[in-house]
Structure 1
């Protein structure tokens, strides 16, 4: 059953998940990247869960390897260490409380390095994956209907401004990112035990075709719970989640203005 809770405060102080995370080995905490309320909720849940490990979509493993409890204690030092201002992700002040909520947790990165992504676009995503592509299901073609839907979403997400022949590659790269998140989550689970918290966008957290699919393919006995976060005036995020919560919409302009 999917649970839907609505919170109208940007910085929740006492969230009751209704036990939805109880017994989970891996918890995917989805977000819209620029929504402060989503990150505040993630930090609250991370503090409540006390995960053994945190997996970040935003970090490569090389970056994650630099993170220690000592540097987490200093927000400016951590931001500088991760070269966050050059990363293209939203302001670090939204993400730092998530690190601070579990300073002793092991930190893993699942971002595909740019050179690896370029190589994958040329040589196929299987070549760029750190794990066993067959085990994780990455080598299995998507059903035609899902492929078409995902290509349409990629086209819309890029403001209808990319060549249509690039769409299959864009979908492949998204699948690679899903599989990398799954690989990092299962590595963390094997090394540190449950629970593992994964910080990622809603698209990667969805149970019907995001990273949870690849976790289940590789380790079907692992218990997964996935949170999706939507916004007032917009509604629930696309996809299937165990748990959905709604925050006030972030203030943002039209991302497609640059293409007009």
Structure 2
């Protein structure tokens, strides 16, 4: 059964979340990928929680299998071993403190490789998922309002340049990413117990339609909690147990190239 909590709100420097995170088997720590403040807070929570395992949206399982305490002790060596420079994710220096906060934890990766994404696009998400798509609810149709909202978000994220017929496919890929995060979290908990911490974007951490939905479908006995991180005075979209804010990052106009 999911434990529901009233959201807690903290200033950028606050950390303690009462028993919300302490009582959870799985804790989702959301982020905006390029916001340094969000990663600082994630590292602080990881150090406080002492997780048995960490699940990273940014890593494949093959990459996660490379992580050892000895490698974590050397930031440059870890970055090189993970091939971070070629990954497309923001500066590794922002993520390294998260690893350093839990050198003895087990590491799991939930990234969807490109070949799996292509398979999902051509043959359906169930064929590309590592787990049982039925058990995780990946094949369940979304409510119409949610489907429409998610397609609108995909269109906006692609600067209104995505063909309409591709929008349902893009939503399916995001659902596959959600389910993969849930799958890795379940695997981590079954192998090591809790707490398991999941490092991922706000969109995947939200409890109303992100990875927690798929985790609860497959493992309803687990308890979970989720952090969403906003910028300035703008909260993240979605449902979270705890919401915090950091200073905003200037990103310019990401759609300028389409004009």
Give the TM-score of the pair, scaled to structure 1.
0.96
SS at match of 2:209: coil
Please state how far the C-alpha of 1:19 moved relative to its aligned partner: 2.6
Q: Which residue of 1 aligns with 2:114?
A: 114
Q: Is 1:6 the counterpart of 2:5 in the alignment?
A: no
Cα deviation per residue 1:86-114 (whole Å; 9 max; x = unaligned)? 11100000000000000000000000111
Q: Measure how far apart 1:20 and its partner are.
A: 2.0
Q: CA deviation at 1:52?
A: 0.3
Counterparts of residues 56-205 of structure 1 (less than 5 Å): 56-205=56-205
- Consecutive unaligned residues of structure 2, counting only runs of 5 or more, are 1-5
CA distance in 2, matches of 1:147, 1:173: 13
Paired residue secondary structure (1:239): coil
Are residues 1:232 and 2:232 paired? yes
Structure 1 residue ranges (4+ consecutive) displaced by more than 4 angstroms after TM superposition: none
CA distance in structure 2 between the partners assigned to 1:259 and 1:74 by the alignment: 41
Task: Give the Å deviation of 1:125.
Answer: 0.3
Q: What are the Cα deviations for residues 149-197 of structure 1, in whole angstroms up to 9, with x where unaligned?
A: 1000100011111111100000000000000000000000000000000
2:47 maps to 47
Deviations 1:179-237 (A, max 9, x none): 0000000000000000000000000000000000001000111000000000104x110
Partner in structure 2 of residue 213 of structure 1: 213
User: Match for residue 258 of structure 2?
Assistant: 259
Structure 1 residue 251, shift from structure 2 partner: 2.5
What is the rounded CA distance, in whole Å, between the counterparts of 2:76 and 2:17 in structure 1? 31
CA distance in 1, matches of 2:16, 2:23: 15
Structure 1: gaps of 5 or more residues: none
Residue in structure 2 matched with residue 243 of structure 1 by the alignment: 242
Structure-2 separation of matches of 1:208 and 1:16: 23
